[in-house]
Structure 1
Amino acid sequence: MTSQILAERYEVHRQLGKQTGRQTLLARDLQTQELVVIKQLFLGRDFEWQDLKLFEREAETLKALDHPAIPRYLDYLEIDEPDSKGFALVQTYVEGKTLEEHLHSGRTFSESEVQELTKFLLEILIYLHEQNPSVIHRDIKPSNILLHSRSAHSVGQVYLVDFGSVQNQAAKFGGTITVVGTYGYMAPEQFGGRSVPASDLYGLGATLIYLVTGLHPTELSQQDLKIQFADRVTQLNPNLIDWLEWMTEPSLEKRLSSAGEAWNSLANPREIPKSIMPVQPRGSDIKLTKNSELIEIVIPPHGFAFDLVSILSGAVPASMVLWINYYDIPINPLVLRMISGSFLVAAGVISIFALFRELHLVIDRQQISYSSHLLGLRWNHFQPDPRLHIRQLEIEKIGDNVSEVIIQADKKYRLGVKQGLSESEIKWLASELSQWLGLKITITQTESKWLASELSQ
């Protein structure tokens, strides 16, 4: 089979990718014997002039750039063949696999590798954004980042490729809105056709979130357009989690504004708000388990509360008096003994519950359940609800005292004073649940504004 030769110079080896009206080829330059990448745009039924503008802009941008981690411009061709007409951009070939391919093959990245990769990519963005005018990539995602020559001590050489969506801040499209990028990695302002250097930071942050969670950003829940991922990476340094949240702020005003600022803030983390790191109250015996798969709250036996002690201190002596002095009371002795015996049994059962029963609230990826555990026995208080049915997290207050935390699903799941929790424990558990569920805390009474400001973010 005869190899295809383009422009009497480039010998095509194989196809690397194909989209409607486009294809990418691996070829050999017969003059230099070097491998090259050829991107082709065809003039067919699906051709739009906007595509040609972006294609020409990619060529002009690459021609002006000179960075070892960016493919180098080599040639620009017009294709005029009987069966195809269009244009071709020739650039240097970068050997390696994309981040997407690495993740699909099962590769994982340690925190130190993520930090190293982040710094390489920020260096590239600093170079691009410091051009005059600034060059904005607009499509940073795992499939546009290549890694090559990984070693035991290095993440490898890092390359940023595919400048097909590139824009400089001086470029305008005559009043039209141009939306380019990839859903999940596009900053919210890009949906309105606006791109600034901070838009690339959002794409980088979303890419790194994919790297540390193994999930595409669209597979993660959102709250007010913010990607909720912290519950899946509890092993990461809180400063890195906070930095990634900062990089992916939906609001431009709240997001890091430049690659240089992002670099400095990575090296010198900001003070993390207390709401990000809820602390268990001193002396609390509650057991909290939280990871990417579940959150489990185990409330230990709360012992004899004052009201229970008051009841038992009256009921037990009365039962003993009835049991011992039944002959002095003008009622059938058998009935009296049955009544007093019932009081003693009830007091015993209540005591066992108070001293040995644990309450378990468990929320995993499938459901929420609430159960009691007593001396090796377990029973649910009611049928578990699907996890997806959880729609609200609230703190219900009575006067100035916190009553309980309520998780609203098909039913209400309550944790509060009745379970022996203190006010500080309720606030702490509400913060933990809010962070894991990605739900804001709703305060049910207006006089609780002080608590709302402390817990709701």
Structure 2
Amino acid sequence: MLSAGQTLYDRYQLQEKLGHGAGRQTWLAMDLTAQSQSVIVKLLAFGEQSQWDDLKLFERESQILRQLDHPRIPKCRDSFSIDDRILWFGLVQDYIPGTSLKQLIQEGKRFSEAEVRQIALEVLTILRDLHGLNPAVLHRDIKPSNLVLGTDQQVYLVDFGAVQDRANVEGATFTIVGTYGYTPIEQFGGRAVPGSDLYALGATLIHLLTGVSPADLPQRQLRIQWRDRVTLPPALADWIDQLTHPDLEQRFQTAHEAIDALNRSETVFSFPPVERPKNTRVQLMRSKKRLEIVIPKHPEEKGLNLPGLIKLGVASLGLTFIVPMIFLILFFGVLSSATWILILGALIFLLFMSPTFQRTYVKFDRREFVVETQRFKTASNRMTGITRDIREVRRDSNGLITITSGPYRTGYRLHQFGEELTDFEQAWVLKEIRSWLKLK
């Protein structure tokens, strides 16, 4: 019998039992060999109520988690077996501090439209990465208890005990797994595809919105009847209904398709008002389909200072007097050719160094985004990316606005700008970008 305080495998000291089922236990434990870090230990007792199929699922979870390296999925640290009158198989994972969505529901939380949409986008992004692997990884048991809202306010997908790492093969049989109410009909028939995870996500969103498990909601022609319990814009409700359509062919086929459809929806989401800083020279144009920001580089952006004013004055003087003088010199031949070449070079240097003629353009649409610095309307630094691949937008320790983007499989890229902005302008621009992208 396992109990708190017991040490398994000479390494993992059990702290608190988090859950249990037929032949299974989940514990919060302390890793005594890793600076006493908290970990999750999942245990399967073989030979009592568990069967070979349970052991195969347990081993599959361990194998797949060892191959995954995703920021929103707990990493597998170790696996072991112990024989203490009962043969136990153990799986050790990172501990994610936070609260499951199921616990939040049980505590009486009702999720708002904006919160549900944000959760949907975060989970769909995880599924897009998993389904895009070769072979695709299917979770097969998405539900509120397997989604953790971390203390960093990001959603994590946990419990891969039902995971499948290969596509269905004609005539092959698989262990039927899933949770009633969240599992689509094809999965009960032993068939799971990416659309099956999307159905489970849709049923989860219905639970978050209504506070009622989809298993306890009425059905009509196998469709969950939930819309009369909430007030939602029709576009968002239609989107959830398509996620949970009983006919697999009528559902979204991929997480990518579901994300695009959600972004195209006409649902209006409420965000805190963003106040435009007074006297800002930043231009910001926003519509439903586009967001464009123009940031001029000017000494006034960081406060007037003597060097900046001198540089601006010299550049202005060059435009006003030196250019006409050069033409006069060339025309009348007052100076030698070498002399006026030096003068012309100095003028060009001053003009390009002058902040007056530099602009940073940041442009978003629903397909791509661009961060570009221009001098005299000539691009000197251009960074591009795919809008749907944006992971976060934040202000880094160097005071730059940083856009993190990139597919999970190929690594992330950083796009940085905004050194010309004041603190108030940075906060304003950052909030506008996040709200347009619907990021927190």
Counterparts in 2 of 1:62 and 1:230: CA distance versus 1, 3 Å:
same
* 2:156 match: 159
After TM superposition, list the pairs within 5 Å mapping 1:335-350 onto structure 2: none
* 1:249 match: 245
**Aligned amino acid, residue 106 of structure 1:** G
The CA deviation at 1:269 is 2.9
**Aligned amino acid, residue 185 of structure 1:** Y
Residue of 215, 220, 225 corresponding to 2:222: 225
> 8 Å contact 2:97–2:151 — kept in the other structure?
no
The DSSP-based 3-state class of the residue aligned with 1:86 is strand
After TM superposition, list the pairs within 5 Å mapping 1:134-145 onto structure 2: 134-145=136-147
The CA deviation at 1:8 is 0.8
The DSSP-based 3-state class of the residue aligned with 1:253 is helix
The CA deviation at 1:232 is 1.4
**Aligned amino acid, residue 87 of structure 1:** F
The CA deviation at 1:6 is 0.9
Find runs of 4+ consecutive structure 1 residues off by over 6 angstroms. 171-174
Cα separation, 2, equivalents of 1:255 and 1:22: 34
* 2:12 match: 10
Q: Is 1:61 aligned to residue 57 of structure 2? A: no
> 8 Å contact 2:78–2:93 — kept in the other structure?
yes
The CA deviation at 1:172 is 6.7
Residue of 56, 72, 75 corresponding to 1:72: 75
**Aligned amino acid, residue 74 of structure 2:** P
The DSSP-based 3-state class of the residue aligned with 1:39 is strand
Cα separation, 2, equivalents of 1:251 and 1:85: 43
Q: TM-score, normalised by structure 2?
A: 0.58
* 1:411 match: none
Residue of 255, 260, 267 corresponding to 1:264: 260
The DSSP-based 3-state class of the residue aligned with 1:70 is coil
The CA deviation at 1:46 is 1.7
Q: Deviations for 1:45-87, whole angstroms, at most 9, x for unmatched residues?
A: 3221111110010001100111111010100101122x22121
Out of 244-253 and 8-17, give the one that drifted further.
8-17
The CA deviation at 1:157 is 1.5
**Aligned amino acid, residue 200 of structure 1:** D
* 2:390 match: none
Cα separation, 2, equivalents of 1:215 and 1:269: 25
Paired residue total = 264
**Aligned amino acid, residue 87 of structure 2:** K
Which consecutive unaligned segments of at least 5 residues does structure 2 have? Answer: 268-440
Q: Percent identity?
A: 50
Q: Deviations for 1:360-419, whole angstroms, at most 9, x for unmatched residues?
A: xxxxxxxxxxxxxxxxxxxxxxxxxxxxxxxxxxxxxxxxxxxxxxxxxxxxxxxxxxxx
**Aligned amino acid, residue 178 of structure 1:** T
Larger-Rg structure: 1
Residue of 19, 23, 26 corresponding to 1:24: 26
> 8 Å contact 1:138–1:199 — kept in the other structure?
yes
- Aligned-residue CA RMSD (Å): 1.9
> 8 Å contact 1:169–1:196 — kept in the other structure?
no
Residue of 191, 194, 209 corresponding to 2:206: 209
Cα separation, 2, equivalents of 1:61 and 1:175: 20
> 8 Å contact 1:177–1:192 — kept in the other structure?
no
The CA deviation at 1:245 is 0.3
**Aligned amino acid, residue 26 of structure 1:** L
Counterparts in 2 of 1:3 and 1:172: CA distance versus 1, 3 Å:
farther
After TM superposition, list the pairs within 5 Å mapping 1:45-124 onto structure 2: 45-81=48-84, 83-124=85-126
The CA deviation at 1:221 is 1.4
